Amino acid sequence: MNTLQDRINLAISHFLKTRNEKKLKRSEMAKFCGVSVAAIGQWINGQTNSLDSLKNAKAAQYLGVNPHWLAGDSKFKMLDDVDSTIKSDPLVAVDTVVATEDHKDDFVWIDVVEAVFSCGAGESIEFHFDTINGKIPFSPSFMKDKGVTEKTMKIIKAKGESMADFIKDGDLVGINLAQTDIIDGEIYAVYLAGEGMLKQIFKEADGSLVLHSLNEKFPDRIVSEENGRNFKVIGRQFWRAG
């Protein structure tokens, strides 16, 4: 099983056999995985070579197979460490997939969170995170490559269309909390005047910052000396999944 197409089709055969069904309901799988029916067809027909960690985990969960195996990790077999509840009912929470500890490249499950802000004395801005929607799996090798750890990485759900089409409403976005120094042209999660947002940031010669929206329908916002006390960088965007 060297290709995603091979593994997907074998997993589908297993899925249909265990449920005593003759044909995959692509629309149901697409809805569960958060993709289009056409995307499912591309997985099956070999037009897609690999899946990101979120889609891989959701597809494996729906079909009742091991996510590492589906991702192409030869150390795992199709049904290794598959929880019995997942085999019998794929419509369970994504964080019920069991990760074993005896493999170096097991998934690390990161909370999807929402930032909650509060302004203290002297307009000092503080924030904490509330878990809102389960967990997303990432491999340690991916996290190492991106320079993040469980402590410095947060996944937030985008709100609004100001960064469309790159980041759309409801997309999941990975934020590195350790990277708050602004790199010109990068995208950051920030707080400004009572509102949390994702913006591309540009540095101006006068020291001000331009918070740029990729969607031209949304005007840029300026951070200057006058309103800078109400501005805080939460972290840099390094990953997204729609």
State pTM to two decimals: 0.57
Q: What is the CATH number of domain 4-104?
A: 1.10.260
pLDDT per residue as tens digits for the range 39-61: 999 999 999 998 887 788 889 88
Question: What does CATH list as the number for 109-241?
Answer: 2.10.109.10
Mean pLDDT of 148-155: 92
Please give the sequence-ordered ranges of beta strands (E in DSSP) within the chain, or none if there are none: 108-119, 125-138, 153-157, 172-176, 187-192, 195-203, 209-212, 221-223, 231-241
**Contacts of 128 by beta carbon, 8 Å cutoff, 6+ apart:** 115, 116
Task: Give the residues across from 173 on adjacent strands.
Answer: 156, 240
Can you read off the two tokens belonging to residue 167? 């980041």
- Domain segments of the chain as ranges: 4-104, 109-241
Q: How far apart are CA 63 and CA 113, in angstroms?
A: 27
Q: Is residue 99 predicted with pLDDT exceeding 90?
A: no
Structural contact between residues 172 and 155, judged by C-beta atoms closer than 8 angstroms: yes
